[in-house]
Amino acid sequence: MESIDKLPGTYEKRIGEGKANVPTAVIKRLPRYHRCLTDLIRDGRMRISSKELSEIMEVTASQIRQDLNCFGGFGQQGYGYNVKYLHAKISELLGVTDGYRAVIVGAGNLGRALAATHMFERRGVHRLALFDNNPELVGTEVYGLPVYSTAALGDFVRENSVDIGVLTVPKEAAYEVAEVMVRAGVKGLWNFANMELKIDAPGVIVENVHMGDSLMTLCYAIKNSDEGDGKNE
* pLDDT tens figures, 187-205: 999 999 999 999 989 999 9
CA distances from 219 to 10, 166, 212, 229, 230 (A): 34, 27, 10, 15, 16
Band of pLDDT at residue 176, cut at 50, 70 and 90: very high
Q: Could you report the per-residue pLDDT of 111-121, keeping only the tens digit for each?
A: 999 999 999 99
Domains 24-93 and 104-213 share a fold: no
CA distances from 11 to 119, 186, 197 (A): 25, 12, 10
- Please provide the DSSP assignment of 71-85 as one string: TT--EETTTEEEHHH
- Cα 62 vs. chain centroid, distance in angstroms? 26
- Give the residue-averaged pLDDT of 138-156: 97
Q: Over 60: is that where the pLDDT of 231 sits? A: no
Band of pLDDT at residue 79, cut at 50, 70 and 90: confident
Which of 18-27, 141-150, 187-196 is predicted least confidently?
18-27
- Give the residue-averaged pLDDT of 192-219: 93
The fold of 24-93 is: Arc Repressor Mutant, subunit A (1.10.10)
Band of pLDDT at residue 172, cut at 50, 70 and 90: very high
Band of pLDDT at residue 3, cut at 50, 70 and 90: very low
pLDDT of residue 8: 30
Residue 121 burial by Cβ neighbours in a 10 Å radius (0-12, 13-18, 19+) = exposed
Q: Which CATH architecture has domain 104-213?
A: 3-Layer(aba) Sandwich (3.40)
**Where are the chain's structural domains?**
24-93, 104-213
Instruction: Write down the mean pLDDT value for the chain.
Output: 87
Q: Over 70: is that where the pLDDT of 232 sits? A: no
Which of 10-14, 31-35, 193-197, 213-217 is predicted least confidently?
10-14
pLDDT of residue 76: 73
pLDDT of residue 229: 60
pLDDT of residue 132: 97
C-alpha gyration radius of the chain: 21
Q: Decide: helix, strand or coil at residue 129.
A: strand
pLDDT of residue 75: 74
Band of pLDDT at residue 11, cut at 50, 70 and 90: very low
